[in-house]
Amino acid sequence: MKEIPFRKHHPKGLYTLFATEMWERFSYYGMRALLTLYLTAELVNDGFGLDREAALEIYAIFTGLVYLTPILGGWVSDKLLGQRKTVYIGGLVMAVGQFLLASSSFLDHSLSPDSRIFLFNFGLGVLIIGNGFFKPNISTVVGEFYNDNDPMKDAGFNIFYLGINLGAILGTFIAGGLGESVNWGYGFLAAGIGMLIGVLWLNWKETTLEHYGLPPNNKNGKVKLDGKDWSTIIIYVVSLIVGTLGLIFLWGFLPDGVKTGITYVGFAAIIISLSYIIFKGTSGINEWSRMAVIIVLAIFNIVFWAGFEQAGGTFSLFAKENTDRVMFGWEMPATWFQNVNSLAILIFASLFSLMWLWLDKKGWNPRTPIKFALGLFLGAAAFWVMTQASNAAEGGNLVSPWWLVSVYTLLTLGELMLSPIGLSMITKLAPTKLVSVVMGLWMASFAAGNYMAGMLESILHKYDFELYPFITMVMLGSGVALLAISPFLNKAMKGIH
Residue among 347, 407, 346, 341 at smallest CA distance from 379: 407
Q: Which of 203-207, 334-338, 412-416 has the lowest mean pLDDT?
A: 334-338
Would you say the C-alpha torsion 93, 99, 102, 106 has a positive or negative sign? negative
First-last CA distance in the chain: 21
Residue among 106, 182, 145 at smallest CA distance from 5: 145
Helices (H), 176-255: 177-181, 184-204, 227-251
Report d(CA 476, CA 471) in Å as an integer.
8
The answer on pLDDT for 201 being more than 90 is yes
DSSP codes, 84-127: HHHHHHHHHHHHHHHHHHHHHHHTTTTS-HHHHHHHHHHHHHHH
Residue among 126, 106, 315 at smallest CA distance from 190: 106
Give the pLDDT mean for 347-373: 86
Report the chain's C-alpha Rg in angstroms.
22
Burial environment of residue 73 by CB neighbours within 10 A (0 to 12, 13 to 18, 19 or more): buried
Report d(CA 440, CA 418) in Å as an integer.
16
- Residue 438 contacts residue 75 (beta carbons within 8 Å): no
**pLDDT, tens digit, for every residue of 288-317?**
898 889 989 999 999 999 999 898 788 988
Give the pLDDT mean for 219-241: 88
* Percent helix / strand / coil, the chain, rounded to 5: 80, 0, 20
**pLDDT, tens digit, for every residue of 88-120?**
999 999 999 999 999 999 998 888 888 898 999
The answer on pLDDT for 1 being more than 50 is no
DSSP codes, 268-282: HHHHHHHHHHHHHH-
Instruction: Provide the 3-class DSSP secondary structure of residue 7.
Output: coil
**pLDDT, tens digit, for every residue of 67-76?**
788 878 888 8
Give the pLDDT mean for 238-261: 87
Residue among 104, 69, 62 at smallest CA distance from 86: 69
Vertex 267 angle, CA 263 and 271, to 5°: 170
The answer on pLDDT for 138 being more than 90 is no
pLDDT in the model for residue 221: 66
**pLDDT, tens digit, for every residue of 436-486?**
678 777 877 888 888 888 888 888 888 888 999 999 999 999 999 999 999
Residue bearing the bigger pLDDT, 120 or 216:
120
- Residue 280 contacts residue 431 (beta carbons within 8 Å): no
pLDDT-based confidence at residue 22 (cuts at 50, 70, 90): very high
Residue bearing the bigger pLDDT, 62 or 219:
62
pTM flag (> 0.85): no
- Residue 172 contacts residue 343 (beta carbons within 8 Å): no
Determine which helix (DSSP H) or strand (DSSP E) holds 330, and give its type and residue range: strand 330-331
Residue among 39, 79, 494, 36 at smallest CA distance from 293: 494
pLDDT-based confidence at residue 275 (cuts at 50, 70, 90): confident
CA atoms within 13 A on the CB side of 158: 23
